[in-house]
Amino acid sequence: MEKMTRVSSTISGCTMFCHLDAPANAISVCRDATQVVVAGRNIFKIYGLEEDAFVERLNLRVGRKPSLNFSCADVMWHQMEENLLATAATNGAVVTWNLARPCRNKQEQLFTEHKRTVNKVCFHPTEVNMLLSGSQDGFMKCFDLRKKESVSTFSGQSESVRDVQFSIKDYFTFAASFENGNVQLWDIRRPDRYERMFTAHTGPVFCCDWHPDDRGWLATGGRDKMVKVWDMSTNRVKEIYCVQTIASVARVKWRPERRYHLATCSMMVDHNIYVWDVRRPFIPFATFEEHRDVTTGIVWRHQHDPYFLLSGSKDSTLYQHMFKDASRPVDRANPEGLCFGLLGDLAFAAKESLMSAPQSVGDVGRKTYPGGDRRYPIFFFKKPDVTEQFAQVSSALSVFESEAGSGVGMDWFINTAQSYLLSGKPFVELCEHNAQVAKRLNRPQESTTWTMLRIMFSEPANPSLSSNHNLNKSGNLPLVNSFSMKEMSAALNERNKENRQDNLHSLETNLNNNDENEETEGSEGQAEYLFGDAELDDDDLYSMEHENQAAEEPEYLLPQEAFPLRHEIMDHPSAPEPVQEKPESPHVSGSEAESTCLTPMESFSLISVSQLLFSPHLPPKFFCPIVKEMLCYYAEQGDVQMAVSVLIVLGDRIRKEIDELTQEHWYMSYIDLLQRFELWNVSNEVIKLSTCGPIMCLNQASTTLHINCSNCKRPMSNRGWICDRCHQCASVCAVCHHVVKGLFVWCQGCSHGGHLEHMMEWLKQSRHCPAGCGHLCEYT
Amino acid sequence: MIICTKKMDYRFGTQCQFIQNQVMVNSEKERASLLCMKALANRGRLDTVSQQMASHPQYLESFLRTQHYILYMDGPLPQPYRHYIAIMAAARHHCRYLVSLHSAQFLRVGGDPLWLQGLEAAPPRLQHLDHINKVLAHQPWLTARSHIQALLKTGEQCWSLAELVQAVVLLAHCHSLCSFVFGSGSDSDSTPTPRVHHGTPPGYCLCDAANGNTAFSPPPAGPTEKAPRRRSLDSSCEVACLLEQIKKSQEEIKERKGDRLHSQTLLHADVEKEDEAVFSADPSRFVSDPEFGYQEFARREEDHFQVFRVQDYSWEDHGFSLVNRLYSDIGHLLDERFRSVASLPFPHSPDLKRAIWNYIHCIYGIRYDDYDYGEVNRLLERGLKLYIKAVACFPDARKTPLCPLSWAPVKASDKVHVNLLVMEARLQAELLYALRAITQYMIA
């Protein structure tokens, strides 16, 4: 603190700028913060920093037709030796300049060892004669300024080097960033091999900067529009913060005396300079908007003064920005949070000042919890941190509760039972249909459950199918795109743990997300991934996908043909099983084809992924324990309907996870309920679709039908169609006089009957019995 | 459409033979054939371009992906527009092959057949694009902020920035593809040939490929014509005469100004005779100002047109970010294309590859600060240089006869490799100029 006051007393100034003759590529400041050097293709000048203006001190670009050695990609002023400068030339030369030279040409040494453009030069922070360079040719060279040649060469074994930075605290260490996205750490004494390497970004890493105080922290910025902070002190390099900007990051510089602040500028499109608090990665802490073209160089004026920032730009200006003049985007932002609860409620938090507006008419069922309501113990206050310079906002929270659909009656049960589809369509469609049904019946929790099941268990390869559906049906939220698997499972866990209906919990996690930066980051990558996949499915370059989908259709049509044939001969309880597997798991046959045709696509979609923390497609197995828990939860709640429906729809996916006895128990209770409500058809379907042996047997019990001969009225004892007493054909159709094998319908009045369709046809034309008995039969 | 199906059967046959003729590592071969199968399954046909590239499967993959993305996938332009722009671009180099290919596809995606009668029949918005098309195709360094501004100027026929970027990518892609088509000799001839008899076995030029002369399967329109042209490929031609020929062809164009109208009508008459319907249309009807061609980007003009310094505006740093921002994902695809062409195994020294690349950029006025251009002269033999220049700048079978080019590579895949380098370098050059102009527009 003492040091700081000393510094700020010596440095003073205001926001000011001066015009340069040409675009700047880089700037650097001398140690005592009184002069700044600006370098570019056609400019190489030193300016003095006065109280309220820049004053040109020296033009280093001398000669009538300056050579390409003057065309600078980078410049650095030595921090120990105030007369020493180094530049990186675009033609591959590394040049040192000594301001103490008496003649006009201050060039001291010229190293032309690099074959390609040198992107970066860096002096050792404490060693006077050590200079490091990184070049497009993939090599880094270390020069001793007392010698004519480089002392050591480091080969990155990859594409061009974009940045090199000596560690401020570790004497021997430097970091190098590469065009292929890697960052390498080197020991200056060991030119044969890097100490460690990790992939920091997708695409080039344009810049890196060591934290001035924290030994292990390195900030990197890349073309993928991200700034990441890495902790190198541990065995495994860990990403600790990540800031997403709106354009590729050209430079990054830690702010002196502010542990969490760093400044960035962009390579393209965006001309502003941002200062970020890495803990608050969504909105820049401060913004400088003066430049009219991209900013190419930023540097803090003094290593211990956080209030002055110098910047050079392609628009040929050099600026000194005062921190107090910066614009603070957060002041103009309205912090808001929005979250759906699992019971279909909606919570919404916004700045109090915004919420004080009179309630509009549409606000039905809205409850407001100003500040924080003690009724909800989970609600928490974050203690304002004095060291954290961030706007504290007090927000009002409103919860829109959906009208509970918990009517006293059991209508919902009957409706649901009748509308649910349990088989006959691909898994995804079944889930979607059932979700719709539940939603229509105002049972959001069940609806969400179906949607989640769809996401969890549908093949990762064809979310397109589902997402397309989502787009078409406006009622359904495009969950697939915005939610990641990870979040899904988390939400589900939560639901299972908490029987209380405190949906506020999920809201809280959402609001809190800002702090858990890693998680947000990871999930974002995931979302992008999913999205990319979905997009790709339209791609008919790999048209196998479509063939695959087409192949599914005949598959789920199969059972419909098969069942009528089968219903007579249900001898073995296990017989329907193979048939049943098919409609529910079309992926069994499809998966091989998919996996072969998908591999190239996956590599394709990788390009848009920022970072993958885990394998993007969790295997469906992963979810089984959760689903099992969920089923048990429903069953315990008394909603055995849900448990059984899910069990049937999921089929083999979950069956093995739950022990037979429990399943049987559920089935029995559900069937019992169905029969009480006289839902015979549904109950029969459930029995048919069940896979428990004992349940299947239900339909086998008491299936014998005893009949008497229609002629002699004696019981038919033997099998076959001829009565062994009167030797007449029993059960002859009254219309066609053939023996009826199969469905026999008869009039309860005159007991004449015959083939179902014959009788129907006959009674359309005539009202009398076809047998001629004169009875007025009726078919209803 | 009809033509496609008719031709498909033997195309596939040639493709199989072609692949068999290649001396390839087994896995590579499989990869290539897999890709070809995919392309075949996708489009019902396999164009000669893909067949050529099949000798470099890893490149073919990214090429097909990019092409598919810009022609069929998400993008602001409607599909008929995309194909029409491709037609316009290919017509600039009089590439009959691409024009007919995209004409057919244009009709297939539901384009208005009227437009194919010529540029005048197209909507004015597309006509506005003609100028930038012309400039990009022949003298990309003339691309300026004002062009962009004119196109984006609000009005009834204005372009949006995203549309324009897609159009520019399409134009550059097709221009450079013309170079490849020309270099590989897949283009049909300038004079319309009688329709191919379908019974003709098409494979007989393949002997050339086998003896290493060329690797090229017959072009779609006239395999009968190829044989004599191939025969003249013996390398006895004088280098000097090539230079002359290139120059002469330029002069010829100027001379021909007068009887241009006449010849054009003649061509029209010929075309109408054909029953192959509209899409074997004469490319020149999509072209305005046909005399506009490549001119030497000379040093003396430096005061007029600044040399383009890669160090100030490079694909990696600037072009990528801009194009990816305005037309999502295309940056990654193009980046992959450039990378894969750079990483193709080249049997000669990497220096040669760099020399070729920089030479092409140099032709288009793009300079590298860190390159000694003396190396180009040291490493590239004259024949190769002439070949590159002809393929890059004059990929027009009418103006530059390909036959006397004396550069005869040892291996067929080498020639494809050089053609690929030309194509990619040209693509990048056009993109850099166009994107720089867009950047300047955005800053102002």
**Nearest alpha-carbon partner for A119 in A85, A155, A185, A163:** A163
Say yes or no for a CB contact (<8 Å) between A540 and B42: yes
Query: Which positions ≥6 away from A715 have C-beta within 8 Å?
Result: A706, A707, A708, A709
Instruction: Sort out which chain B residues have CB atoms less than 8 A from A90's CB and list them.
Output: 309, 311, 369-370
Of A762-766, A775-779, B110-114, B277-281, where does the model show the most confidence?
B110-114
Closest alpha carbon within chain A to B368: A91
Q: Does the pLDDT value for residue B429 go beyond 80? A: yes
Q: How confident is the model at residue A367 (pLDDT cuts 50, 70, 90)?
A: low
Instruction: Sort out which chain A residues have CB atoms less than 8 A from B73's CB and list them.
Output: 535, 538-539
Inter-residue contact A342 to A503 (CB < 8 Å)? yes
Q: Does the pLDDT value for residue A665 go beyond 60? A: yes
For residue A321, the distance in angstroms to the closest alpha carbon of chain B comes to 21
**Of residues A114, A269, A604, nearest to B442 (C-beta):** A269
- Model pLDDT, residue B32: 66
Q: pLDDT digits over A668-722, tens only? A: 888 888 888 888 888 888 888 887 777 777 777 777 767 777 677 777 766 666 7
Q: What is the C-alpha separation between B143 and A765, in angstroms, rounded?
A: 85
- The structure tokens 């078919």 sit at A779
Cα distances (angstroms) measured from residue B56 to each of A464, B31, B62, B63: 32, 10, 11, 11
Q: At what angle do helices A660-676 and A640-650 cross, to 10 degrees?
A: 120
How deeply is B162 buried, as exposed, middle or buried, from its count of CB atoms within 10 A (0-12, 13-18, 19+)?
middle
Closest alpha carbon within chain A to B317: A267
Mark B167-200 as b/e (b = at least 16 C-beta within 10 Å).
Answer: bbbbbbbbbbbbbbbbbbbbbbebebbeebeeee
Say yes or no for a CB contact (<8 Å) between A268 and B73: no
A186 φ, ψ (degrees, to nearest 5): -125, 150
State whether residue B47 is helix, strand or coil.
coil
Say yes or no for a CB contact (<8 Å) between A90 and B74: no
Q: What is the C-alpha separation between A206 and A492, in angstroms, rounded?
A: 41
**Nearest alpha-carbon partner for A503 in A445, A446, A438, A435:** A445
A115 at interface of B, judged by CB pairs closer than 8 A: yes
Instruction: Sort out which chain A residues have CB atoms less than 8 A from B42's CB and list them.
Output: 540-543
Q: In what order do the strands lie in the sheet with A72-77?
A: A72-77, A84-89, A94-98, A107-111
Q: How many residues does chain B have?
A: 444
Q: pLDDT digits over B337-396, tens only? A: 999 988 888 777 788 889 999 999 998 889 898 888 888 888 888 888 888 888 888 887
A117 at interface of B, judged by CB pairs closer than 8 A: yes
Q: Does the pLDDT value for residue B274 go beyond 60? A: no
**Nearest alpha-carbon partner for A302 in A684, A617, A669, A28:** A28
Q: How confident is the model at residue B398 (pLDDT cuts 50, 70, 90)?
A: low
**Nearest alpha-carbon partner for A541 in B44, B431, B89, B306:** B44
- Model pLDDT, residue B163: 92
Instruction: Sort out which chain B residues have CB atoms less than 8 A from A599's CB and list them.
Output: none
State whether residue A229 is helix, strand or coil.
strand
For residue B277, the distance in angstroms to the closest alpha carbon of chain A comes to 28
β strands within A665-752, DSSP E? 744-746
Q: What is the C-alpha separation between A559 and A579, in angstroms, rounded?
A: 6
Start-to-end CA span in chain B (Å): 46
User: What is the distance, to the nearest Å, from the Cα of residue A100 to the centroid of all Cα atoms in its chain?
Assistant: 57
Q: pLDDT digits over A268-297, tens only? A: 888 999 999 999 888 899 999 999 889 999
A600 at interface of B, judged by CB pairs closer than 8 A: yes
Helices (H), A441-484: 444-457, 463-472, 479-482
- Model pLDDT, residue A154: 94
Q: Does the pLDDT value for residue A334 go beyond 60? A: yes
Which pairing describes strands B308-309 and B366-367: parallel, antiparallel, or unpaired? parallel
Work out the average pLDDT over B49-71: 86
Say yes or no for a CB contact (<8 Å) between B309 and A535: no
A539 at interface of B, judged by CB pairs closer than 8 A: yes
**Nearest alpha-carbon partner for A77 in A115, A21, A41, A26:** A26
Instruction: Sort out which chain B residues have CB atoms less than 8 A from A161's CB and list them.
Output: none
Say yes or no for a CB contact (<8 Å) between A269 and B329: no
Helices (H), B139-210: 145-152, 161-184, 206-210
**Nearest alpha-carbon partner for B219 in B49, B401, B39:** B49
For residue A432, the distance in angstroms to the closest alpha carbon of chain B comes to 27
- Choice among B36, B95, B174, B393 that is catalytic: B95
Interface of A with B in 178-217 (CB under 8 A): 179, 203-204, 206
Work out the average pLDDT over B283-287: 81
Q: In sequence order, what DSSP letters do the residues of A121-170 get, joined into one string?
A: EEE-SS-TTEEEEEETTSEEEEEETTSSSEEEEEE-SSS-EEEEEE-SS-
Say yes or no for a CB contact (<8 Å) between B74 and A535: yes
B174: annotated active-site residue: no
Work out the average pLDDT over A80-92: 91
- Model pLDDT, residue A585: 38
A293 at interface of B, judged by CB pairs closer than 8 A: yes
Test the A interface: residue of B309, B343, B370, B438 with most A CBs within 10 Å: B370
**Of residues A68, A248, A540, nearest to B321 (C-beta):** A248
ipTM of this complex prediction, to 2 decimal places: 0.71
Mean pLDDT of chain B: 72
- The structure tokens 């609000």 sit at B154
Percent of chain A with pLDDT over 70: 69
Say yes or no for a CB contact (<8 Å) between A541 and B38: yes
Q: What is the C-alpha separation between A94 and A88, in angstroms, rounded?
A: 5
User: What is the distance, to the nearest Å, from the Cα of residue B414 to the centroid of all Cα atoms in its chain?
Assistant: 18
Q: How confident is the model at residue B13 (pLDDT cuts 50, 70, 90)?
A: very low
Kindly state the greatest CA–CA separation across chain A: 138
Say yes or no for a CB contact (<8 Å) between A89 and B369: yes
Please name the amino acid found at residue B424.
E
Say yes or no for a CB contact (<8 Å) between B443 and A116: no
B→A contacts (Cβ < 8 Å), by residue, are 38-39, 41-42, 61, 64-65, 68, 72-74, 309, 311-312, 316-318, 320-322, 325, 329, 332-333, 335-336, 368-370, 439, 442-443
- The domains found in chain A, sorted by start residue, are 16-331 (2.130.10.10), 411-457+620-703 (no CATH), 704-779 (no CATH)
For residue B319, the distance in angstroms to the closest alpha carbon of chain A comes to 9
Instruction: Sort out which chain A residues have CB atoms less than 8 A from B312's CB and list them.
Output: 23, 41
Q: How confident is the model at residue A636 (pLDDT cuts 50, 70, 90)?
A: confident
Closest alpha carbon within chain B to A68: B369
Mean pLDDT of chain A: 74
Pairwise pLDDT comparison (A163 vs A495), residue with the higher score: A163
Q: Which residues pair with A141 in a beta bridge?
A: A133, A153
Q: Which residues pair with A396 in a beta bridge?
A: A350, A370
Say yes or no for a CB contact (<8 Å) between B439 and A604: no
For residue B310, the distance in angstroms to the closest alpha carbon of chain A comes to 10
Long-range CB contacts (within 8 A, 24+) of A211-218:
A211/A168, A211/A254, A211/A259, A212/A168, A212/A254, A212/A256, A212/A303, A213/A259, A214/A259, A215/A167, A215/A169, A215/A170, A218/A175, A218/A183
Kindly state the greatest CA–CA separation across chain B: 61
- Model pLDDT, residue A555: 43
Q: How confident is the model at residue A10 (pLDDT cuts 50, 70, 90)?
A: low
Say yes or no for a CB contact (<8 Å) between B321 and A267: yes
Write the secondary structure of A270-302 as one string of H (helix), E (strand) and C (coil): CCCEEEEECCCCCCCCEEECCCCCCEEEEEEEE
Instruction: Sort out which chain B residues have CB atoms less than 8 A from A117's CB and list them.
Output: 311, 368-370
**Nearest alpha-carbon partner for A421 in A304, A560, A285:** A560
Work out the average pLDDT over B58-78: 90
A566 at interface of B, judged by CB pairs closer than 8 A: no
Pairwise pLDDT comparison (A210 vs A736), residue with the higher score: A210
H or E segment to which residue B346 belongs: none
Q: Which residues pair with A152 in a beta bridge?
A: A142
Q: Is A601 left (phi over 0), alpha (psi -120 to 50) or beta?
A: alpha
Pairwise pLDDT comparison (A579 vs B36), residue with the higher score: B36
Pairwise pLDDT comparison (B54 vs A363), residue with the higher score: B54
Q: Does the pLDDT value for residue A232 go beyond 50? A: yes
Other beta carbons within 10 angstroms of residue A407's beta carbon come to: 9
Percent of chain B with pLDDT over 90: 20
DSSP state of A503: T
**Of residues A267, A271, A539, nearest to B317 (C-beta):** A267
Query: Which positions ≥6 away from A506 have C-beta within 8 Å?
Result: A339, A341, A342, A491, A494
Whole-structure pTM over 0.90, yes or no?
Answer: no
Q: Which two tokens stand for residue B335?
A: 């980046």
- Model pLDDT, residue B190: 38
Instruction: Sort out which chain A residues have CB atoms less than 8 A from B39's CB and list them.
Output: 541
Closest alpha carbon within chain A to B319: A268
Q: In sequence order, what DSSP letters do the residues of A349-407 get, joined into one string?
A: EEEHHHHTSPPPTT-TTEEEEES--TTSTT---PPPPTTS------EEEEEEPPPP---
Percent of chain A with pLDDT over 90: 26
Say yes or no for a CB contact (<8 Å) between B370 and A115: yes
Q: Establish how many alpha carbons lie within 13 A of residue A512's alpha carbon, considering only the half-sphere containing its beta carbon.
A: 13
Instruction: Sort out which chain A residues have CB atoms less than 8 A from B64's CB and list them.
Output: 541
Q: How confident is the model at residue A476 (pLDDT cuts 50, 70, 90)?
A: very low
Q: What is the C-alpha separation between B161 and A335, in angstroms, rounded?
A: 32
- Model pLDDT, residue A714: 74
Q: What is the C-alpha separation between B148 and B137, in angstroms, rounded?
A: 16
Q: Does the pLDDT value for residue A174 go beyond 60? A: yes
Closest alpha carbon within chain A to B443: A293
Using alpha carbons only, how large is chain B's radius of gyration in Å?
21
Work out the average pLDDT over B330-343: 91
Instruction: Sort out which chain A residues have CB atoms less than 8 A from B443's CB and list them.
Output: 271, 292-293, 315
**Of residues A73, A600, A604, nearest to B311 (C-beta):** A73
Of A194-203, A349-358, A490-499, where does the model show the most confidence?
A194-203
Work out the average pLDDT over A483-499: 41
Instruction: Sort out which chain A residues have CB atoms less than 8 A from B311's CB and list them.
Output: 41, 71, 73, 90, 117
Cα distances (angstroms) measured from residue A348 to each of A284, A316, A507, A520, A614: 24, 47, 8, 20, 31
Which pairing describes strands B308-309 and A238-244: parallel, antiparallel, or unpaired? unpaired
